[in-house]
Amino acid sequence: MLNNEKKNFIEFMMSADVLRFGEFKTKSGRLSPYFVNTGNYKTGSQIDTLGKYYAALVKETVGDRFDAMFGPAYKGIPLAAACAGALAREYGIDKPYFFNRKEVKDHGEGGSLIGYKPADGDNVIIIEDVITAGTAVRETVPVLKAAADVKLTDMFISVNRCEVGTTPGKTALMEVKEEFGITVHSIISVADIHEYLEGKPEYAAVLKLMDAYMEKYCIL
Q: Among positive and negative, which fits the CA dihedral 156, 124, 40, 138?
A: negative
Q: Are strands 31-36 and 19-25 parallel, antiparallel or unpaired?
A: antiparallel
- Over residues 36-40, mean pLDDT: 90
Active site residues: 105, 107
Cβ count within 10 A of residue 130:
19
Residue 110 has pLDDT above 80, yes or no: no
Three-point CA angle 43, 48, 50, nearest 5°: 95
Q: Which one, of 98, 83, 175, 103, lies nearest residue 134 by Cα?
A: 175
Q: Higher model confidence: residue 61 or residue 135?
A: 61
Residues 6+ apart with CB under 8 A from 201: none
3-state secondary structure of 184: strand
- Over residues 18-24, mean pLDDT: 94
- Over residues 191-208, mean pLDDT: 95
Cβ count within 10 A of residue 178:
12
Residue 91 has pLDDT above 80, yes or no: yes
Beta bridge partners of 98: 70, 115
CATH number, residue 92: 3.40.50.2020
Residue 108 has pLDDT above 90, yes or no: no
Question: What CA–CA distance (Å, rounded) separates 214 from 132?
Answer: 12
CB-CB contact of 218 with 161 (8 Å) = yes
Question: What CA–CA distance (Å, rounded) separates 101 from 173?
Answer: 25
Q: In this structure, which long-range contacts are made by residues 14-20, counting pairs with CB atoms below 8 Å and at least 24 apart in sequence?
A: 16/40, 16/41, 16/42, 16/46, 19/159, 19/193
pLDDT at site 111: 64
Residue 178 has pLDDT above 90, yes or no: yes
Q: What is the pTM of this model?
A: 0.92
Write the DSSP symbol of residue 166.
S
What is the residue-averaged pLDDT of the chain?
A: 92
pLDDT at site 183: 96
pLDDT at site 104: 62
Q: Range of 15's domain? A: 4-217
CB-CB contact of 54 with 82 (8 Å) = yes
pLDDT at site 100: 92
* Distances in whole angstroms, Cα of residue 145 to Cα of each of 9, 32, 124, 141, 181: 33, 32, 11, 6, 13
Question: What CA–CA distance (Å, rounded) separates 123 from 67?
Answer: 5
Residue 97 has pLDDT above 90, yes or no: yes
Residue 77 has pLDDT above 60, yes or no: yes
Number of compact structural domains in the chain? 1
Residue 109 has pLDDT above 60, yes or no: no
